[in-house]
Amino acid sequence: MEDILERIKEQVENNPVVIYMKGTPEMPRCGFSQRASQALAATGLPFAYVNVLDDPEIFESLPRYADWPTFPQIYVGGELIGGCDITLELHQNGDLQKLMEDAVAKSGDHQPT
């Protein structure tokens, strides 16, 4: 149990933006995951993803990691921002772009424009 929570922590902390979703951004397996990953992609910024359907340990343990019961879960800058509805709302009001830009810039992974 500790090992899987440590692995989740490393994924969250080592990626400026990560979405835990059902399926992949190219082949989502649920509508909420699809809409959330599309909002992330629309920023034009890089993000990591974990297909929870391919990793039963993460599927079982992630809801306990940040006390969030559903998928997808989106982490920006090491913090849970929420699921699909919150991500879409942030995208619509422009905050998602800024959150992701800040997280990518802090990580040093950004490309100069």
The fold adopted by the segment(s) 2-100 is: Glutaredoxin (3.40.30)
Q: Is 84 annotated as a binding residue?
A: no
Distance CA 42, CA 91 (A): 9
Q: Is the pLDDT of residue 110 over 60?
A: no
Averaged pLDDT for residues 93-102 = 97
Higher-scoring residue by pLDDT: 2, 62: 62
CA atoms within 13 A on the CB side of 77: 12
Report residue 108's pLDDT band, with 50, 70 and 90 as the boundaries: confident
Distance CA 76, CA 106 (A): 11
CB 72 within 8 A of CB 41: no
Q: Is the pLDDT of residue 113 over 60?
A: no
pTM listed for this prediction: 0.92
Q: Which helix (H) or strand (E) holds 65?
A: helix 56-65
CA 101 to chain centre: 14
Report residue 12's pLDDT band, with 50, 70 and 90 as the boundaries: very high
Report residue 109's pLDDT band, with 50, 70 and 90 as the boundaries: low
Q: What are residue 28's phi and psi, to 5 degrees?
A: -65, 150
